């Protein structure tokens, strides 16, 4: 059972889709996982605009309430052998503590694999950890080796690296941290946000401008490309004023999920950086 999208993608990339018993409500790739029972639901309305959604999340957290509900009855009924959850972000998915408590209450002796990647190497190593827990160690070694090779090949060597800022949220403004700085470096850029492994910080528009990026990538957490375009539209003038180049990307499918498709994002960014055109690309 997987309770965050990155975990679902890892399990399926390991060829274990047929063993999945359940998923989180956010798990949507591969597409056929939608047929699996969802064990979580959000307490906030995710379709709100960025500013309203951020305010709602803050309100729930100030009340010391969980952002997600976990269906303990369904968890007990499915009785998984392995549950893959996370400890990296209190906002992104159901918490480790919730999963542990629910399993204990349901008397389900499942093995919990909790993912908490901070650096790019952690993302790749988590593939091996999940594979080991699921009894397919060799598959994990093969997949991890392939992902590392693709990361090494993504960004071509260059004496000059464009300065890149990756925006993880627009209202209020937030720069991406954790594994993103090293992922941008792997694509051939020089990251101008937080240091590798550091949390994603809120910043002002003025502070972002002072970083003097050559290109700004906008990939809000949890938003697909269509929604990213809608959310970025009111800020277009400000975004274009930050750097000569602007790129909108599907953060939900790539940058925000520490799984195999993060490497797809690195390769996509590397290809865009090699293009001379300064125009908006999506």
Give CA separation, 225 vs 4, 215, 254, in Å. Answer: 20, 18, 11
- For the chain, the domains span 5-116, 157-273
Positions in the chain short of pLDDT 70: 88-92, 277-282
pLDDT at 188: 95
pLDDT at 168: 97
Residue 9 corresponds to which tokens in the numbers above?
Answer: 């993608």
pLDDT at 96: 84
Give CA separation, 264 vs 2, 49, 154, 249, in Å. Answer: 21, 27, 9, 12
Domain 157-273 belongs to what architecture?
Answer: 3-Layer(aba) Sandwich (3.40)
pLDDT at 277: 62
pLDDT at 78: 94
pLDDT at 105: 86
Phi, psi of 38 (to 5 degrees): -95, 130
pLDDT at 35: 97
Query: What span, in angstroms and rounded, lies between the C-alpha atoms of 50 and 113?
Result: 31
Confirm whether pTM is higher than 0.75: yes
């Amino acid at each position: 059972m997987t309770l965050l999208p990155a975990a679902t993608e890892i399990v399926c990339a390991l060829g274990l889709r047929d063993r999945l018993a359940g998923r989180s409500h956010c798990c949507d790739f591969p597409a056929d996982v939608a047929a699996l029972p969802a064990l979580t639901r959000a307490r906030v309305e995710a379709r709100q605009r960025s500013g309203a959604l951020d305010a709602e999340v803050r309100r729930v957290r100030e009340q010391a309430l969980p952002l997600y509900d976990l269906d303990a009855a369904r968890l007990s009924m499915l009785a998984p052998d392995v549950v893959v959850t996370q400890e990296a972000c209190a906002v992104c998915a159901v918490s480790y503590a919730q999963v542990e408590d629910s399993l204990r209450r349901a008397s389900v002796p499942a093995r919990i694999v909790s993912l908490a990647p901070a650096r790019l190497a952690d993302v790749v190593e988590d593939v091996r950890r999940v594979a080991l827990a699921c009894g397919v160690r060799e598959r994990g070694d093969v997949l991890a080796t392939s992902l590392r090779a693709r990361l090494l090949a993504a960004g071509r060597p260059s004496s000059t690296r464009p300065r890149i800022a990756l925006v993880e949220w627009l209202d209020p403004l937030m720069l991406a941290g954790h594994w993103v700085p090293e992922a941008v470096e792997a694509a051939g850029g020089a990251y101008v946000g937080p240091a590798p492994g550091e949390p994603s910080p809120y910043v002002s528009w003025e502070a972002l401008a002072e970083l003097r990026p050559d290109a700004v990538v906008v990939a809000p957490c949890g938003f697909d490309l269509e929604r990213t375009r809608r959310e970025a539209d009111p800020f277009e003038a400000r975004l274009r004023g930050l750097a000569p180049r602007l790129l909108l990307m599907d953060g939900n499918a790539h940058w925000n999920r520490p799984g195999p498709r993060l490497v797809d994002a690195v390769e996509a960014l590397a290809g865009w950086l090699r293009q001379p055109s300064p125009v908006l690309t999506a």
